[in-house]
A and B are shown apart, each in its own frame.
Chain A
């Protein structure tokens, strides 16, 4: 133990001396190395962050720190070459986890500036007045109830800007004001976009006809169709709320973080939508008491 502590202390002193040497003899090559490592770590972090995997990104950073700490305190175990391969393999593994997204982002590099759905993920929600927000809430609920009465299937996702880019790119960007007629029109059974999900971002209908990932859990009732499975699946991968109208029964369901609340009535829908718009409302409006129960 004493020998190990001594070697760790020696190693720390060596690093201290080496640190001075590194900055005193700083060359362009060191700058290039730092830049290349920065590009690698930043790109991996950005991919993880863009795909709503912030926890994984923190784990990635943590593992790099652990690798560096091992290099300092257990140099015989993790030497220079090992650290190099460790960082490279860790980064490659993280990118491999999101290989489809990485491939797609690389293909889309040239069209990133012209693709309107790219900027939609930036999450810029305009703040509106309380009256406008209440108007949005009323319109969404009215549309849901009308579709429920007529057994028209619908899937609405209330996004906070954290949806994976692929979801938005799979549908048609609409960027329209929320209205009952617009929502019902999109989900009208013969309409071309009725089969996908509608994404509401803030006070606008962002996109429609979007494909969502399906939940793979088998614990849900067998009568849940693809629409319900998609509604659950998207809440498992992103911080969103899904509102579903069953085509067979007309039952309205609210899905939050994989939990389904069936038979949602008017009050439950109002609560869910107020809960969604709560964060978007400016502090001044919230204090005025409009959206606080």
Chain B
């Protein structure tokens, strides 16, 4: 697999799920703790 494809796979297919999950987790925890 070429490096470009590998990076696309990691960042486009995997990273964005982790990033979105982390962002949502952060928002939820912030809202839970500043009530």
What is A's interface to B at a CB cutoff of 8 Å?
A: 14-15, 18-19, 21-22, 30, 33-35, 37-38, 40-42, 45-46, 49, 57, 61, 64-65, 68, 71-72, 75, 79-80, 83-84, 87, 122-124, 126
Q: Mostly helix, strand, loop or mixed at chain A's interface?
A: helix
* CB atoms of B34 and A68 under 8 A apart: no
Chain B: residues with Cβ within 8 Å of the partner, total of 20
Q: How far is the CA of A45 from the CA of B25 in the complex (A)?
A: 12
Q: Which residues of B contact A (CB under 8 A)?
A: 1, 5, 9, 17-18, 20-22, 24-35
The answer to whether B31 touches A124, judged by C-beta atoms less than 8 angstroms apart, is no
Q: Which chain B residues border A46 with CB–CB below 8 Å?
A: 17
Question: How many cross-chain pairs have Cβ atoms below 8 Å apart between A and B?
Answer: 71
Q: Are A42 and B28 closer than 8 Å at their CB atoms? A: no
What residues of A have a CB within 8 angstroms of the CB of B17 in the complex? 42, 45-46, 49, 57
Given A42-B18, A45-B20, A46-B17, CB of A34 within 8 Å of CB of B32: no
The B interface, classified by DSSP as helix, strand, loop or mixed, is helix
Residue in B17, B20, B31 whose Cβ sees the most chain A Cβ within 10 Å: B31
List 19 additional contacts besides A15-B31, A79-B35, A123-B9; criterion CB under 8 Å: A15-B34, A18-B34, A19-B34, A22-B34, A33-B29, A34-B25, A35-B25, A37-B25, A37-B29, A40-B25, A41-B25, A42-B22, A45-B17, A46-B17, A64-B28, A68-B28, A80-B35, A83-B28, A126-B1
Residues of B within 8 A of A64 (CB): 24, 28
CB-nearest residue of chain A relative to B5?
Answer: A124
